[in-house]
Structure 1
């Protein structure tokens, strides 16, 4: 069983799905944070959840206890939620949560069935990987798609990756097999900044997700956070000559994603995924 529990069954008009999971494949928490921004829309409504008992090892991912101002304790379990977002431009189904430990097939099967019930015909999955890229350059975006011609149309570098995969890879395959068109977008996060949130990748993924789904998103706060983050990093690097030289080397090695270095960037994501 998938553990999918419905809260309500909305009637949506040709919705597109947008999906991200925390954990594996979410470097710098870039993908999950980008997708979470779409839930700020006033119409966002939680319509289903997935029971964590079916899919998590609670000794690995322990529930968290919180205490409110009155002294009442609450237990917070790992969450995977399905949301409906209705806008004048495009209806959307958002899936946001944590990559599960167990029963991936039933987990994915439950989501596919939910999408079919809601009338989803197109899905965008979002991830982030650690690469040898410089923070001073635009965030590189790599993609795969059910229809490969869409990659060039959306300025995404194609990847022919084979090897270990995460829940997004399994979900992409399952959706494609059910006739749902999928585009998967991955952002590269500089390896020397990957142990923290990376706002530039969040901003880049949010912008691309908005373009791909047709759902407008106010990115003002993301842009401001990205600029502040980069300014802070630049100030710190000025005091570290060795790191400054290394970043300059990355800049010199980098070329346009349309240039000869494109395949090397694809190899970065492949090494990252194989090593996880």
Structure 2
């Protein structure tokens, strides 16, 4: 491991984990491809479970459009105490129980210079001899919270797709035409330099902001692919609790219940929800104090 700090215009290395064994890179992004917080929640969960070490920080200012993605500040008594500096971290974890060590990255989807952004990670892949890359995304869909979690996949090759669809988790090849995220750009770029890359997409009900069931399914897939033993017990408990709250909410509102039950039925094929469509959300309803609601 290098003791000195290595820097580039965008990526500052704290330490270079040169000893990693056949590492696999898992990437997540805030922003447009993070419906249901699937991408960020998956990376947060892995970080909490594995406690990886810091390898490098990416300064995202060059890639951020501050007119649409404003920095977050904490102001108390007129004084600014914290200001989001738009810095994301690349971490690493040595997997003593498996053949592959792990690299984790969670950042904001870049607004500009996708080619430059992709090149940064091509360099990381070559420097650390990364074997495979997985990007994690979330998409709003006409699926129900009671349905088995749907995961679709975009891959850099037919062999990658075959590996994914044979896992036994109901993973399906993606069928899509429309605007794409940084995930697709990265997969295409990595494939051009001979790196196996896979983009896993969790489909979440359009009426929910969180889906621990979908995150648990993705963690289960990564367990198989990477050789992890990351328990999903906490996510399973959260799923059950969310289901309970949703059922209580639906019992209070027959119209809402009819809407939710109509989703994912035979007359409702799974289609991506367009960004300009109005989304009915249960989250605020679930959090309400229903003791103050009038009797139905």
TM-score (norm 1): 0.85
* Aligned-pair CA distance for 1:45: 0.9
Instruction: Name the one with the larger helix percent.
Output: 1
Q: Which has the higher contact order (CA 8 A, sep 6+)?
A: 1
* Aligned-pair CA distance for 1:16: 0.7
Return the index of the structure with the highest Cα Rg.
2
SS of structure 2 residue aligned to 1:182: strand
Q: What RMSD in Å do the two structures reach over aligned CA positions?
A: 2.4
How far apart, in 2, do the equivalents of 1:57 and 1:159 lie?
29
* Aligned-pair CA distance for 1:142: 0.9
Q: Which runs of 4+ in 1 moved over 4 A?
A: 271-275
Give the aligned length: 260
Query: What does residue range 1-276 of structure 1 map to in structure 2 within 5 Å?
Result: 3-11=10-18, 12-41=20-49, 44-66=52-74, 73-88=81-96, 89=98, 90-145=100-155, 146=157, 147=159, 148-154=161-167, 155-193=170-208, 196-253=209-266, 264-265=269-270, 268-269=271-272, 272=274
* Aligned-pair CA distance for 1:251: 5.0
TM-score (norm 2): 0.80
Q: Deviations over 1:139-168 (max 9, x none)?
A: 111112222212321231112423321111
CA contact (8 A) 1:165 1:273 kept: no
Unaligned residue ranges in structure 1 (runs of 5+): 255-260
CA contact (8 A) 2:73 2:80 kept: no
Distance 1:186 1:2, change over 3 A: farther
CA contact (8 A) 1:128 1:189 kept: yes
* Aligned-pair CA distance for 1:14: 0.4
Q: Deviations over 1:56-102 (max 9, x none)?
A: 1223322222379xx88232222322111111123011111111111
* Aligned-pair CA distance for 1:124: 1.2
Unaligned residue ranges in structure 2 (runs of 5+): 1-7, 278-296
